Amino acid sequence: MRAIKQVYIDINKTRGLPRTYRFNQFVRWFTILLALFCIAYAGWFIFSRIAAETTTWIKIFPFVIIFFAANSLMRNVFSINAITFTEQDVSFRFIARRKVTISWSTMRKFVLASARQRQLKIVYEINGEEKSFPFSIAFPNILEVVNAIYEMAPQMELDEYMSRVIINKDEADKQRGEAADADS
């Protein structure tokens, strides 16, 4: 357990900046192309193979395929594709949305958002206006990402969940001291 925690301490110094985390591009693009193919095939099937005497199940099935394929397509196109850390800010990039860039100095809170899916939310301030940016915890290396964000913006207020997830130097030193006391 100690070795795992040690990896996340001073991660930006250890791994260097700028640094980018991204979804596996082969999987992402294969899923997008497969969803487009399924939608196109279901559309072709509807207009060329369905007749008035076709059973109801055969008439409905292509629409079910289109629904699931469109859902997969939307999730892959509008979810975070890459996160880039620099000395000044963090950028969240998407395939079909504009990127969101948040300066380290503007970050105020880092919380677990109550949503349909588990999401983390960064609350930040621009020109006196408070904004928030939610992102899914289903991102590769999420522990590295959240620890790197907190390392660059230690002024952020953490909720109970995030304070248990974030591993900082003070916490690691305190746990080492407690372990040494327990050993003696």
Q: Give the start-to-end residue ranges of the domains of the chain.
A: 2-23+102-183
- What confidence category does residue 126 fall into, taking pLDDT thresholds of 50, 70 and 90? very high
Please report the pLDDT score of residue 1 as a whole number: 47
- Which comes out higher in pLDDT, residue 103 or 170? 103
Q: What is the pTM of this model?
A: 0.83
pLDDT 10s digits, 49-107: 999 999 999 999 999 999 999 999 999 999 999 999 999 999 999 999 999 999 999 99
Q: Round to whole Å and give the CA distance between 110 and 168.
A: 14
Distances (CA, A) of 77 to 94, 133, 165: 7, 17, 28
Residue type, 95: I
Contacts for 83 with CB less than 8 Å, ≥ 6 apart:
20, 21, 22, 90, 91, 92, 93, 139, 145
**Within 10 Å of residue 161's Cβ, how many Cβ atoms?**
13
Torsion 118-77-126-101 (CA) sign = positive
